[in-house]
Amino acid sequence: MRALPHRLGAPRPGWTRDADVVVIGSGIAGLTAVLRIRAASPWRRVLLVTKALLDAGSTRWAQGGIAAALGAEDSPAEHLRDTLVAGVGLCDPAAVEILVTEGPPRVRELAALGARFDRDPDGAFSLTREGGHLRDRVAHAGGDATGLEVERALIAAVRADPSIEVLEHALVLDLLTDQSGRAVGATLHVLGEGSQDGVGAVTARAVVLATGGMGQIFASTTNPAVSTGDGVALALRAGAVVTDLEFVQFHPTALWLPEAGPGQQPLVSEAMRGEGALLVDAAGRRVMAGVHPLADLAPRDVVAKQMSRVMAEQGVDHLYLDARHLGVETLLRRFPTITARCRDAGVDPVTSPIPVAPAAHYASGGVRTDMWGRTSVPGLYACGEVACTGVHGANRLASNSLLEGLVFAARIAGHIAGTGDAGDAGEPGAPEAPLPAGVAVGARGSGLTDPAERADLTRAMTDGAGVLRSAQSLRATAKMLAGLGDLRVSGATVKAGPQAWEMTNLRTVAAALVAAAALRTETRGCHWREDFADRDDGNWNGHVLTRLDPEGELIVTYEAQPAAQVGPA
């Protein structure tokens, strides 16, 4: 394979800024991190960097809600059990325990901040159920607009603090490290005016990655256009370890639109099935009956696989979600956004089944972190979808994603403030002067990939490394990625800029995912190998670790997890 770059080819930084902490990303994880850092350390200078506008990330598209044990009949222990079951043996129980015990107070704090959750007549959180949950524990807002409301409240709080500086339209390029290998900032490209236009450098005493997912490596995804895997690619180039990239969750019910091209597809929330909607084929036959004890509310990997099987058997590219029996009142009250979007596409859920198909949705793997969000690179933290904290295992339990962002962003803030691990006060060493000689800003391997080949990459990933995988399909995909952007073959000239940087990140992350998927020769969670159809605890009850070696080659290894960490079947 053509070597992957250790730095993105870019002009030398033309401007510099300094902060105590730079947070990259403005979804629930990044916004929470900024607010919690300010609350814990009000004297620290915090810079929030976001790729587009503050509200352009994945959080706003989270329809279902936030899972937490908020009901009187629920408990963190039951939430932990359901999470471990969904994770198919690969969750870290200690991380999950943190998630489910610290989650409820974080949700209540979010409500106190101003997030308007739907409430029952007695004022309690209105809770619903989604796939894999044995209790009603998903808090929601605006029926099916939870992410939008959460983001609104967090952004309002950020804007209300004049000490938080926000830099929009800023694409992160690479990590800055000092001579010891510690993170001391990042290079950015800003589409702005004046002194902050173009490539610049922000130096900081700690860097928090909250860049979201990588769904744009596939032709069909629920992720927004900004989700190009920038954080994972940056971390790999910086020498960080990433974990379990093969576990990409495909949401079973993206709205299928025959005229839609590649890219983001509208999501039809799992909460609709939680209210009783049913998956059926064109003849009205139920798709999930008899397949799993929870039927239509089975974990997402089970539903996506069964849908893919039925679609392949019938030679069709979509199935249907039938919600007609819920009635117009329920549909408009609980799912106003989905109903409106379907009607805009010419489908009325009140009178017609909704055409749906699986689409890439959520990356359970990512940059490896500990319980305080620390990565293997000193001074670099990660939270949200870009991180692999251990809470999702081989398959994320529905609506645990927003909760993870809340909980682990708060823990990062606590650690930076010195209230976390007693063995490390969490105070990164101050960097040298802006762009010191010891900071790596160029170095080897800065090749870029031609953005004209992006459609080829996403189609190859969908066909060979999507819901259905095999040794043959993964080899074909790896071969395609190996030759992608070989300028000796194409004769193209690639100009440094946002499109080329994003494309290079996409290729880096896609190559890492394919390598991890090829190594894991079993079917587990949302990783489905047609040639290895069974779960193999004897050989694969552990994690796939990926890093980039000094020559730009991916090193993929297997790490068995301790016996005490093995979750239930």
139 neighbors 58 (Cβ within 8 angstroms): no
Instruction: Tell me which H or E stretch contains 173.
Output: strand 170-177
Rg (C-alpha) for the chain, rounded Å, is 22
CA distances from 529 to 35, 292, 392, 465 (A): 42, 19, 19, 10
Please write the tens of the pLDDT for every residue from 151-169. 999 999 999 999 999 999 9
Determine the pLDDT at residue 486: 61
Q: In what order do the strands lie in the sheet with 170-177?
A: 16-18, 198-203, 183-190, 170-177
Backbone region of residue 418 per phi and psi (left: phi > 0; alpha: psi in -120 to 50; beta: other values) = left
Q: Pull the structure tokens for residue 37.
A: 């850092």
Determine the pLDDT at residue 543: 97
Rounded Cα distance between 349 and 65, Å, is: 21
Determine the pLDDT at residue 479: 94
Rounded Cα distance between 526 and 519, Å, is: 15
> For residue 321, what is the DSSP state?
E
To the query of whether residue 300 is one of the catalytic residues in this protein, the response is yes
- The DSSP bridge partners found for residue 538 are none
Rounded Cα distance between 172 and 383, Å, is: 16
Q: Pull the structure tokens for residue 319.
A: 């199935």
Residues in the chain: 569
Please write the tens of the pLDDT for every residue from 39-48. 998 989 999 9
Ranges of the chain with pLDDT below 70: 1-2, 56-58, 60-63, 193-196, 259-263, 419-446, 485-492, 563-569
> Nearest Cα to 145, choosing from 55, 225, 215, 82?
55
Rounded Cα distance between 244 and 214, Å, is: 14
- Residue from 273, 300, 374, 396 carrying the catalytic annotation: 300
215 neighbors 156 (Cβ within 8 angstroms): no
90 neighbors 516 (Cβ within 8 angstroms): no
In 351-405 the beta strands, taken as DSSP E runs, fall at 354-363, 366-368, 380-382, 387-388
